[in-house]
Amino acid sequence: MKICVVGAGYVGLSLAVMLSAKYNVNLVEISEQKLKLLQQRKSPIRDEYIEKYLAEKELDLNIFSNLAEAVKGADFAIVATPTNYDPHLNYFDVSSVDAVVEQITGISPSTYIAVKSTLPVGYTEEASKRFSTDHLFFSPEFLREGKALYDNLYPSRIIVGAKDTGVGRKFADLLKSAALREDVETLIMEPTEAESVKLFANTYLAMRVAYFNELDTYAATKGLDTGRIIEGVCLDPRIGNFYNNPSFGYGGYCLPKDTRQLLANYSSVPSTLIKAIVDSNTVRKDFVAADILKRNPKVVGIYRLVMKSGSDNFRSSSIQGIMKRIKAKGIEVVVYEPMMKEDTFFNSRVERDLAAFKKMSDVIVSNRMSDDLADVTDKVYTRDIFNHD
């Protein structure tokens, strides 16, 4: 079995590493920086399992910058290129997926193409017609940043959206054969249904974040104990005691863009809830920023830009929205982010000395409480109730 994986982000790299423990895998990446690291068997992203596998496992993993060379003769090609949400188009930008699919169908038409990039609903069927291929299908990923390989090794479920159910089953079996978890629930469905699963799953998670954030906003406004209310609510087993820690809003690479894409797909469908979830995230950030400004700070310190501990991802982190709102009021902002190489972020100073950062900040804004801030808790502003991600 020969497999070509296109894109060395957390989705593509985790799949390439997992599958190469058992199969011949060609990984394609155009970033020179990532290529150099991968050729040295070093991970370009922070993920404990990926780092460990690259350093210690015997992997049949070959690194390419040229797709044409890597995909020839491949049984499956897995496309995991970015599909960022374009606010001007009001849709995902699928140009990178288009370019890869077009190239593969021209070079190796017998190769089956599994798209792992998140897509607007209806893309797979439309693209199959546009590129005159019946070898294109979609398989959503359900991965956490920093734990992508672990989540592929122990998947919650495997879903494949393929017109040809035989091919869909074969691809699902491929993923299952490389996973460590046994008896993985597997669903084979229509491509458009699989695309819907991905967007609705992430929007449900966003809704849960938004719900507990609005609960916290209510409690804070009324002078109530957020933790006690959440504890009482979550003792109901239908609700469950998980994914319930208030924050500055949902952020990261997936939830903001996937909720907006789903809302765009609802343009001709009667609804109120999906729009409310998207709007709630904006309202929450407005509330948090206003609450911080009530302290009348001269200098606000932003503690970490990353989405969560163990991550190196700054993309769309919720704290950035808070930072921008505070700066818009003319307040000086300084950022503590040791992962950053640049000296400024959105025209604010980046301070790498934690002690100096603490001293110069009147208020320290932290999405999650950290032991680093234990000595300045009187300065810290956080909505973290349970001290976990």
- Burial label for 272, CB within 10 Å (0-12, 13-18, 19+), is exposed
Pair (242, 362) in one structural domain: yes
Pair (227, 287) in one structural domain: yes
Would you say residue 281 lies in a domain?
yes
Pair (303, 160) in one structural domain: no
Q: Which has more confidence, 93 or 309?
A: 93
Domain boundary among 138, 163, 189: 189
**pLDDT at position 311 over 60:** no
Question: Cα–Cα distances in Å, from 263 out to 91, 313, 381?
Answer: 10, 25, 32
Pair (146, 270) in one structural domain: no
Would you say residue 388 lies in a domain?
no
Pair (180, 269) in one structural domain: no
Would you say residue 69 lies in a domain?
yes
Pair (65, 127) in one structural domain: yes
Domain boundary among 163, 189, 215: 189
> Which pLDDT score, from 0 to 100, does residue 88 have?
79
Would you say residue 387 lies in a domain?
no
Q: What is the mean pLDDT of residues 49-78?
A: 97
Would you say residue 93 lies in a domain?
yes
pLDDT in tens, 88-127: 777 899 999 999 999 999 999 999 999 999 999 999 999 9
Pair (203, 139) in one structural domain: no
**Which range marks the domain in which residue 71 is found?**
2-189
Pair (30, 67) in one structural domain: yes
Residues with active-site annotation: 254
Alpha helical stretches, state H, the chain: 10-20, 32-39, 48-56, 67-71, 95-107, 123-130, 148-153, 165-178, 191-222, 226-234, 255-265, 273-293, 318-328, 354-360
Most confident listed range (277-281, 308-312, 340-344): 277-281
**Mean pLDDT for the chain?**
94
Residues in the chain, total: 389
Domain boundary among 139, 169, 189: 189
> Which pLDDT score, from 0 to 100, does residue 344 have?
94
Q: What is the mean pLDDT of residues 207-220?
A: 98
Would you say residue 139 lies in a domain?
yes
**pLDDT at position 129 over 80:** yes
> Which pLDDT score, from 0 to 100, does residue 214 have?
98
List strands edge to edge, sheet with 348-350. Answer: 344-345, 348-350, 332-336, 299-303, 363-365, 380-381
> Which pLDDT score, from 0 to 100, does residue 236 have?
98
Q: What is the mean pLDDT of residues 236-244?
A: 97
Pair (303, 341) in one structural domain: yes
Pair (280, 149) in one structural domain: no
- Burial label for 276, CB within 10 Å (0-12, 13-18, 19+), is middle
> Which pLDDT score, from 0 to 100, does residue 229 have?
98
Pair (112, 232) in one structural domain: no
pLDDT in tens, 25-44: 999 999 999 999 999 999 99
Would you say residue 386 lies in a domain?
no
Would you say residue 194 lies in a domain?
no
Quick one: angle between helices 191-222 and 273-293, nearest 10? 40
Pair (221, 340) in one structural domain: yes
Number of structural domains the chain divides into: 2
The CATH number covering residue 142 comes to 3.40.50.720
> Which pLDDT score, from 0 to 100, does residue 341 have?
87
> Which pLDDT score, from 0 to 100, does residue 309 have?
58
